[in-house]
A and B are shown apart, each in its own frame.
Chain A
Amino acid sequence: MTAVMEEVRPVDVPVPSGRRSWRRLGDLGILGPLAFLGLFFVYPLVTTVQQSFEDRLGRPAGTIAWTRVLESAEFRNGLVTTVELAVGTTIGCLVFGTFIAIVLEFVPFPGSSVIARLTTVILAFPSFFIALSFAVLYGRVGVLSAIVRGMTGHSEVLGGFIYTRWAVLLAEITFYTPFVVRPVLAACQQVKIEQLQVAASLGARPGRVLWRVLLPELLPSIVAGGSLCLLLALNEFGIVLFIGAKGVLTLPVLIYTKGIVAFDYPSAAVLSCIQVVLSVVLYGLGRLLAARIGARRARLD
């Protein structure tokens, strides 16, 4: 291929001086992004890795911090909780997000277009806002508790739901579901309604049409939305911190606790490195899956 390209390239054509200077400027232009990347991504990353091999006073300490963190029950619990919450959130978002997108597109009802637009608005909210509204709704002095108390006379019917792992999961699903709704809704809009109608005319009940015709069509966008959800849920900090559920300590919260509360920077650095690796690996897997499905779709379309 290279040989062919070299053959057809007009080697003796002089490049106008104006264009040459633009090209030089273009070559220099790469320095800006490189400098930005170095300053705001590579340098902090290198510093973090470096700190993970130091003690609290900044002296080289080998793998002491790594050993301490990896052997601690706190880390193992944090890792399990983080992965559990991220996977649970992703599954929840995929189920609810896909369902909502399909309903919005194929079962239109008065106000459905407004709801479709609102999903975009929720994307712009900070995550702690959801946690805050959960507290207002489900908290001991929240709206729902007041209603339940008024109806039953009991004050503890909700059983302190807001302070449980389930509340965190529900809040994360609520916040991240629009991240699935948007791409799946866009994919739904590309599906030809005739395909679904013909499938039904061939004798397929709605469940079969959904499973055999619609979901395979939506799969690339479902995978894309799910990967994004997984990545964001894995790194979620605001919701977990604001809800403050008992015993729910994720890696991001653990990093915060170690670094800001306990001033244990080496441990925070170790946890950060693990968090980065975890994110990159999961993101890579998601991309790989999306690329495989994307390539298959490109062949089919």
Chain B
Amino acid sequence: MPEAIRFDSVCVDYGRTRALSDFTLTVDAGETVALLGPSGSGKSTALKALAGFEALAAGRVFLAGRDVTDLPPYERGLGVVVQQYALFPHMRVADNVAFGLRARHQPRAEVQRRVAEVLEMVGMSAYARRYPAELSGGQQQRVAIARALAIEPAVLLLDEPLSALDAKLRQDMIGELQALRLDLPGVAMLYVTHDQVEALSLAERIVVMHDGRVVDAGPSAALYRRPPSRFTASFLGDANLLPAVVVGPGAVRAGDLTVSCPTAGFADGDEVLLCLRPHELQVGTGWPGRLTAVQWRGASQRLSVSLDVGTDVRADVGVGQDLPDVGQPISIGPVDGAGVLVPTEAAAEAEAVPS
């Protein structure tokens, strides 16, 4: 697929603060890439830089190979969907959707045809005469998506589009966005979110961001299964990170426990972090510690355990699991085949510095 979006060493400043630093990324046509990170990580700034809403302090942005850095937003031809929908409250749904087409002076018949088409696509045909205030949050977001798609953009930018919705609606909308993705095979999507579930569900590639910089980037599954850094491991999958030492091929020692896991890329004696997701821990033999809290989550229980080795971990266990009382001793260990190694920050920094 040809290149649809390219950020080339983009920097954005807010006053004296650098909000986005040396951001480089390419997104192909038909690909969905998620920018994932906490608040203030620069992910929305990157999107705004591409849309032309923020001036660049350095770098260039390209759309389909064309340098659009100096073009105003109205000449970039992007579809943009934002968190708070940003529907025009004084216009009916159909007029909201038609706005971009009218701005481009499309013939009346074409406007009507296209509005009907995209409203049908998002299942909002019956609401064409309504005002935004007469719609639910989910319906408003569907209209916002229809409005962005009406102009048939080659690139769709979605800035936390589901974060204003409640949990149930968010789940439903993820399904709808997945279906929409199939309807738009040639459109490149850049999806900004702080929610790992949205990122993992919708994106083929994830770019993890922190403090205005890219921390890691890669295919979603690979990034989840083998996080390259401590930050990505904890942000994407809420991993527990236990200090460990490589003691041989396929074995590390964490506390008093030797754990089997792939050690490719590490040498004997290397200090590493053993990354274990909460669902990869089980109660039984393992590290001794003390149960500090239990959260019932319906289908599972989230245990908080303070290990004697000095690390606090979270574990998800079944509802029927027998547990000691809170405050009592407990032993917790990895399930078979669980665990990947992540370099310690010191090792990662040493690797990053050219010798």
B-binding residues in A (CB < 8 A): 192, 194-195, 197-205, 208, 212-213, 216-217, 299-301
Tell me the interface secondary structure of chain A in the complex.
helix
11 A–B contacts, CB within 8 A, in A order: A197-B80, A198-B86, A199-B88, A199-B99, A200-B53, A202-B151, A204-B99, A216-B88, A216-B90, A299-B131, A301-B89
Our pick among B77, B131, B133 for the contact of A203 (Cβ within 8 Å) is: B77
Bound-complex Cα distance A299 to B134 (A):
9
The smallest beta-carbon distance between A11 and chain B, in angstroms, is 40
Residues of chain B contacted by A212 (CB below 8 angstroms) = 88, 99
The smallest beta-carbon distance between A190 and chain B, in angstroms, is 11
A201 touches B79 (CB 8 A): yes
Knowing that A201-B73, A203-B77, A203-B100 are A-B contacts, what are 15 other residue pairs whose CB atoms are under 8 Å apart, sorted by A's residue number? A194-B84, A197-B48, A197-B53, A198-B86, A198-B147, A198-B148, A199-B99, A200-B53, A200-B74, A201-B51, A201-B53, A202-B80, A203-B104, A216-B90, A217-B89
The contact string, 1 if C-beta is below 8 Å from chain A, for chain B 52-95, is 11000000000000000000111011111011101111100000
Bound-complex Cα distance A264 to B337 (A):
106
**Does B103 count as interface, using CB distance less than 8 angstroms?**
yes
Bound-complex Cα distance A300 to B99 (A):
18
Our pick among B51, B53, B86, B131 for the contact of A195 (Cβ within 8 Å) is: B86
Please give the number of chain B residues whose Cβ is less than 8 angstroms from any Cβ of chain A in the complex: 31
Given contacts A299-B133, A300-B90, A300-B133, is CB(A201)–CB(B74) below 8 Å?
Answer: yes
Residues of chain A contacted by B148 (CB below 8 angstroms) = 198, 202
A-binding residues in B (CB < 8 A): 48, 51-53, 72-74, 76-80, 82-84, 86-90, 99-100, 103-104, 131-133, 144, 147-148, 151
B133 touches A301 (CB 8 A): yes
The smallest beta-carbon distance between B106 and chain A, in angstroms, is 10
Residues of chain A contacted by B79 (CB below 8 angstroms) = 201
A204 touches B131 (CB 8 A): no
The smallest beta-carbon distance between A40 and chain B, in angstroms, is 42
Residues of chain B contacted by A217 (CB below 8 angstroms) = 89-90
Residues of chain B contacted by A201 (CB below 8 angstroms) = 51-53, 73-74, 76, 78-80
B90 touches A200 (CB 8 A): no
A198 touches B80 (CB 8 A): yes
Given contacts A203-B103, A213-B88, A300-B89, is CB(A198)–CB(B133) below 8 Å?
Answer: no
Residues of chain A contacted by B133 (CB below 8 angstroms) = 299-301
B73 touches A300 (CB 8 A): no
B131 touches A300 (CB 8 A): yes
The smallest beta-carbon distance between A215 and chain B, in angstroms, is 10
Residues of chain B contacted by A204 (CB below 8 angstroms) = 74, 99-100, 103
Bound-complex Cα distance A194 to B86 (A):
6
Bound-complex Cα distance A202 to B88 (A):
12
B86 touches A205 (CB 8 A): no
Bound-complex Cα distance A196 to B211 (A):
27
What 5 pairs across the A-B complex have the smallest Cβ distances?
A: A202-B100, A194-B86, A200-B73, A204-B103, A203-B103
Bound-complex Cα distance A208 to B90 (A):
15
Bound-complex Cα distance A40 to B76 (A):
63
**Closest Cβ neighbor of B150 among chain A residues:** A202
The smallest beta-carbon distance between B18 and chain A, in angstroms, is 20
A200 touches B72 (CB 8 A): yes
Bound-complex Cα distance A192 to B53 (A):
14
